[in-house]
Amino acid sequence: MRVATTLNTGTESTVENRKVQDLAPRSAPVQGRSRERTRLILDVTSELLEKVGFDDLTTVLIAKGVGISVGSLYHYYPNKHAILHALGLRWLEEIEQALGTIAGWSVESMDSDELLDKMLTTHLAVYRKQRAVLTLVQAMFAVPELRELDTRHDDMVIGHMAEIFRRMGIQRHPKERERLGRFYLEMTHAAFLVIVNQNGQRARRTLDDLRMVMSTWLQHHLQ
């Protein structure tokens, strides 16, 4: 989904005409040491995104943070965008797990406000877990090589939420439930990206406001 972005990805014509780089890892990690190294590369990339931002993130910095040479880093990923793609995929997997957890609840018998509160809490936890999530989400939208992740995220959330709304008793045309799913996505995604960058009482007040708005909206469609 569209988010405000200040990432420097080049001129529009350059971005659109640039050949999409290879995003696949060099090889799938099989041994425990390789899997741990891959995890460390992604964790260090998250930390660096938080510290230096997207524009100043380089494979040299990532390799230094991991404690390996740039050549060794390229044994795992061919370029910076491939690392960010893998980081985005890991975040999407956690989003999917959260949505799967929600789908496993007894949605049909739950009070709507109780369900909403649990959904927001479960979903927000994934945003809070991912360091520099705002920068990552901006990159997923702004960088052509990563944009399919943005589309995949939106489609996944919309589809899951449309089904949740059906189970809650919103008996509308499937396309209308998809519209409601997109509204849920747009509202929560934007608010979560604000909340994770707030502290203490300010974050709690923003979450309370989101809960109030979404509760009123849901009650309207449940009538």
* CATH number of domain containing 168: 1.10.357.10
- Read off the tokens for 110: 């739950």
Q: From residue 114, give the alpha-carbon distance in Å to each of 46, 73, 211.
A: 33, 46, 11
Q: Both 100 and 145 in a single domain?
A: yes
Q: Both 100 and 192 in a single domain?
A: yes
Q: Which domain range does residue 95 map to?
A: 84-222
CB 149 within 8 A of CB 140: yes
Measure CA 47 to chain center.
Answer: 16
Q: Could you tell me the pLDDT band of residue 22, with boundaries at 50, 70 and 90?
A: confident
Q: Both 40 and 109 in a single domain?
A: no
Q: Both 64 and 135 in a single domain?
A: no
What is the DSSP secondary structure assignment for residue 77, as one 8-state letter?
Answer: -
- Read off the tokens for 103: 């789908």
- Residue that terminates a domain, selected from 8, 40, 73: 73
Alpha-helix runs per DSSP H in the chain: 12-17, 32-52, 59-66, 70-73, 80-103, 112-129, 133-142, 147-168, 174-195, 200-222
Q: What is the pTM of this model?
A: 0.88
- Read off the tokens for 192: 């979560």
Q: Both 58 and 151 in a single domain?
A: no
Q: Both 194 and 103 in a single domain?
A: yes
- What pLDDT is attached to residue 18? 42
Q: Could you tell me the pLDDT band of residue 33, with boundaries at 50, 70 and 90?
A: confident
- Least trusted range by pLDDT, from 10-14, 93-97, 116-120, 207-211: 10-14
Q: From residue 101, give the alpha-carbon distance in Å to each of 30, 64, 122.
A: 28, 37, 8
Q: Kindly write down the DSSP assignment for every residue of 57-69, as one continuous string.
A: --HHHHHHHHTS-
Residue reference for tokens 């971005």: 15
Q: Is the pLDDT of residue 48 over 60?
A: yes
Q: Both 61 and 88 in a single domain?
A: no
* Assigned domain for 201 exists: yes
Counting the structural domains of the chain, the total is 2
pLDDT in tens, 118-148: 999 999 999 999 999 999 999 999 999 999 9
Q: Is the pLDDT of residue 12 over 90?
A: no
CB 22 within 8 A of CB 79: yes
Residue reference for tokens 């998809």: 178
pLDDT in tens, 154-196: 999 999 999 999 999 999 999 999 999 999 999 999 999 999 9
Q: Which of 24, 60, 65 is nearest to 42 (CA)?
A: 65
CB 22 within 8 A of CB 144: no
